[in-house]
Structure 1
Amino acid sequence: MRQFWIINGILFQLAWFAAALLTQYAAFIISFILILHFVLSDKKLLDAKLLVLAPIGWLTDTLLIHYSVITTESGWITIWLMLLWCVFVVSLSHSLLWLSRLNVSILVLIGALSGSVSYTAAIRFSALKTSLDITNQVIYFGMVWGVLLPLLVQLSKLIDSKKKNETAIRNKK
């Protein structure tokens, strides 16, 4: 499906809003969104390979919880947060593919800004909690996402290039 990136972008936003506004149903909703993504995606194999990046996000959020930057009701990373990471990483090959064309310094800036906005909004919607004031939230999330986004984009490019190399080798045979 040639215009799947639009569908993926909508699915990603729906997943985020489900997580932020419907936390008690978010695991179910995001699971459905992830399944729908794979049913409709024209890059199923690449998307499946990109899921290996989700644990980086899980570890990041687990550390943020451990160090009380954010808190959840259970005190642990939630299923809906883990699923949201899955939706995010598969979006790197669709609606967020444009990020792969940017240089690292721009990715650092985009990561710092978008990460801060996203987590601060989730806190405002009460999906997550924090004891930090807004200034410290922006600093922590900005630092984390200023590193995380460039890392994930570079790793997704590496995974995609391996897929392209494998395809080229198969086509030569």
Structure 2
Amino acid sequence: MWQWAHLLGFNLYWLLAVKWQQPGPLLVLLLAHFLFSPSRQRDWRLLAIAVAGGLLDLSLWQLGLFHFTAGFPLWLMLLWIGFALTLAHGMRWLLPMSRWQQALVGAVGGTMSYLAGAAMGAVQLPWGTANSALLLAVIWSGWLPVLLWAMVKLEGERA
């Protein structure tokens, strides 16, 4: 039950982050996660994944793939924290998949997340939608399997 509640909760979290772009509600939801999580200690270790994801987006912003009206946003870093926690809870079903299947999920899901954010006005894609989508698909086809591998290593389990 927790897995499905977490996955649905992350969708709400993502929508709040992208639509309102305010850190307050995201911080409240993160607090709720840590209050109710069955694995708080493990979850703290997963913050390394959020830092890695935030650094990736920061790099892509510096390269000009993303443009944010007010500079690099705090809500995006908080979104990465929510995503890292969701990998370990609501998206554990990805672990038994082969690497190529994880790559496919990453290429489609990761890219669609950014394109949806752009459609909602949270980010602009100066390189154009098609070019950005292609680059994001390539990045996320490798990034999701790496994040899943890192999650398993941070949890202390074997892949």
TM normalised by structure 1 equals: 0.87
1:4 matched to 2:2? The reply is: yes
Deviation at 1:55, TM superposition (A): 1.1
2:111 match: secondary structure: helix
The number of equivalent residue pairs is 158
Q: Which structure 1 residue ranges, 5 or more long, are not aligned?
A: 165-173
CA distance in 2 between partners of 1:147 and 1:159 (Å): 18
Alignment of 1:61-80 (within 5 A): 61-76=57-72, 78-80=73-75
For the 8 Å contact 1:18–1:30, the answer to whether it is kept is yes
Tell me if 1:37 matches 2:33.
yes
**Bigger relative CO (Cα 8 Å, ≥ 6 apart):** 2
Structure 2: distance between partners of 1:34 and 1:144: 27
Q: Distance in 2 between matches of 1:49 and 1:69?
A: 29
Please tell me whether residue 144 in structure 1 is matched to residue 139 in structure 2. yes
What stretches of structure 1 move > 2 A for 4+ residues in a row? none
Report the counterpart of residue 19 of structure 2 in structure 1. Answer: 21
> Within the alignment, does 1:81 sit opposite 2:76 as a pair?
yes
Q: CA deviation at 1:134?
A: 2.1
Paired residue for 1:168?
A: none
Unpaired stretches in structure 2, ≥5 consecutive residues: none
Please give the per-residue CA displacement for 1:116-153, whole angstroms capped at 9, x wherever unaligned.
Answer: 11000000000111112221121111011111111100
Aligned counterparts of 1:148 and 1:19: Cα–Cα separation in 2:
21
CA RMSD of aligned residues (A): 1.3
- TM-score of the pair, normalised by structure 2: 0.94
Question: Cα distance, 1:4 vs. partner?
Answer: 1.1
SS of alignment partner, residue 148 of structure 2: helix
Instruction: Verify the 8 A CA contact 1:11 1:37 in the aligned structure 2.
Output: no
Q: Match for residue 117 of structure 1?
A: 112
